[in-house]
Amino acid sequence: MDRATTLDAIDLESGRFLVATSSGVASLDAPVATCPGWDVAHLVNHLGAIYSRVTLVLSSLRTVAPDRSELPAAPTGEAILRWFAEQQAAMLRALETTDDDTRVWNFTRESPGPASFWARRMTHETLIHRVDVELALGFIPAPPVPAVATDTVTEFLELFVPRFRDRLEGDLAGPIHLDATDVPSGEWTLDPRSGQFSVSRGGEKADVTLRGSAFELACWIWGRRPTEQLHVAGDPGIADAFQKVVRT
């Protein structure tokens, strides 16, 4: 995605998150089923704390991880919503004013890396947690533009699947094909058979194919949508095994 699309997506998704939490439909004590053990207040604290860390990294051009003690503590009660809005606005300013190529800290082995890492990461972090809070409060989550949802899938496969590579190689019985029906180039194949778990773009032969919109696939790969809510051709147990590994 280009810079303008990414920044617009963060602005939109963080705004949707704030609107949902301020809706009055349920209290901050409402449980968030997609984040077991959390309530809405915990989710607001979590995302706001991430925003404040990103703001600190970008505004001070940090090349090492900031200490937690440097981050502002969230207040309790309804005041946490105003605090979240402040963290949101500060992070958006930092993202807008930091050149994409500026090298700053991130949590990968390639740190420090380009600041554009954080714009992309915050797009998808915010989208998935917006889904979390809307589901918790009884809303039907609206999809983002397909390009954003497609990159949510791609980023997960690039950034997070490597953390589970060993387990996926051992636990998956065969390859999985993902087919985003609303995006011409939205196809991925996850293959554990080669002895080294691999991900490719395209429609290689697989033991199970999951079809849905890019947003539905993004929610599935993040464990926010069960396999049976997609169009499944082949062995759904392989897809369920993938979700079990990446959600533990």
- Domains of the chain, CATH where assigned: 3-136 (1.20.120.450), 146-246 (3.30.1050.10)
pLDDT of amino acid 33: 96
| pLDDT-derived band at 202, boundaries 50, 70, 90 | confident
Interatomic CA distance for residues 162 and 81, integer angstroms? 35
What does the pLDDT look like over 206-232, one tens digit per residue? 999 999 999 999 999 999 999 999 999
CB–CB of 100/114 below 8 Å? Answer: yes
Mean pLDDT for the stretch of residues 29-45 = 96
Please report the sign of the dihedral spanned by the C-alpha atoms of residue 5, residue 96, residue 52, residue 115: positive
Interatomic CA distance for residues 154 and 17, integer angstroms? 22
Range of weakest confidence among 16-30, 105-119, 179-193: 16-30
Please report the sign of the dihedral spanned by the C-alpha atoms of residue 233, residue 238, residue 243, residue 246: negative
* Average pLDDT of the residues of the chain: 93
What does the pLDDT look like over 95-146, one tens digit per residue? 999 999 999 999 999 999 999 999 999 999 999 999 999 999 999 999 999 9
What does the pLDDT look like over 71-86, one tens digit per residue? 989 999 999 999 999 9
Mean pLDDT for the stretch of residues 6-35 = 90
151 pLDDT higher than 80: yes
196 pLDDT higher than 80: no
Mean pLDDT for the stretch of residues 173-182 = 94
Mean pLDDT for the stretch of residues 145-169 = 92
Mean pLDDT for the stretch of residues 26-31 = 85
Interatomic CA distance for residues 107 and 65, integer angstroms? 8
pLDDT of amino acid 198: 84
25 pLDDT higher than 70: no
Q: Residue 138's CB: how many other CB atoms inside 10 A?
A: 11
Interatomic CA distance for residues 13 and 120, integer angstroms? 13
Residue at 3: amino acid letter: R
Quote the pTM value: 0.95
Per DSSP, the residues of the chain read --HHHHHHHHHHHHHHHHHHHTSSSS-TT-EETTSTTEEHHHHHHHHHHHHHHHHHHHHTT-SSPPPGGGSPPPPSTTHHHHHHHHHHHHHHHHHHHS-TT-EE--SSTT-SEETHHHHHHHHHHHHHHHHHHHHHTT--PPP--HHHHHHHHHHIIIIIGGGGHHHHHHH-SS-EEEEETT-TT-EEEEE-TTSS-EEEES----SEEEEE-HHHHHHHHTTSS-GGGSEEEE-HHHHHHHHHHHT-
Omega of the bond prior to 114 within 30 degrees of 0, cis?
A: no
pLDDT of amino acid 185: 86
What does the pLDDT look like over 48-107, one tens digit per residue? 999 999 999 999 999 999 999 999 899 999 999 999 999 999 999 999 999 999 999 999
| pLDDT-derived band at 178, boundaries 50, 70, 90 | very high
